[in-house]
Amino acid sequence: MIVGSLMLATTLLFMASALHTGTSRPIDPEAIGGYSAGCLKNGVALPLTGPGYQVIRSKRLRYYGHPDLIHYLTTLANQTRMAGMPDLYIADLAMAHGGPFSSGHRSHQTGLDADIWFRMANQPISKWEQDAPREWALIDEPSYRVLPGRFGPQQLELLRLAASKPEVARIFINPVLKGEVCKRAADEPWVAKLRPWVGHFSHFHVRLRCPAGSPDCQPQAPIPPGNGCGAELASWLKDKPQLPKVSMAYSKPRLPARCGS
Could you report the per-residue pLDDT of 36-76, keeping only the tens digit for each? 999 999 999 999 999 999 999 999 999 999 999 999 999 99
Q: Is residue 132 part of a domain?
A: yes
Q: Is residue 11 part of a domain?
A: no
CB 118 within 8 A of CB 180: no
What integer best gives the mean pLDDT of the chain? 87
Q: Is residue 12 part of a domain?
A: no
Closest C-alpha to 49, from 14, 84, 81? 81
Q: Is residue 23 part of a domain?
A: no
pLDDT beneath 50: ranges in the chain: 1-25, 245-249
Q: What is the pTM of this model?
A: 0.86
Q: Residue 164: give the domain boundaries.
A: 28-242+254-260
Cβ contacts of residue 93 below 8 Å, gap of 6+?
Answer: 46, 62, 63, 64, 65, 69, 108, 111, 113, 114, 115
pLDDT of residue 253: 82
pLDDT of residue 2: 46
CA torsion 132-138-140-145 (nearest 10°) is -170
Number of domains, the chain: 1
Backbone angles phi, psi at 4, to 5 degrees: -60, -40
Whichever domain contains 223, its CATH number is 3.30.1380.10
Beta bridge partners of 26: 20
Q: Is residue 6 part of a domain?
A: no
Q: Is residue 146 part of a domain?
A: yes
CA torsion 90-18-167-174 (nearest 10°) is -30
Interval 113-139: pLDDT, tens: 999 999 998 878 787 888 888 889 999
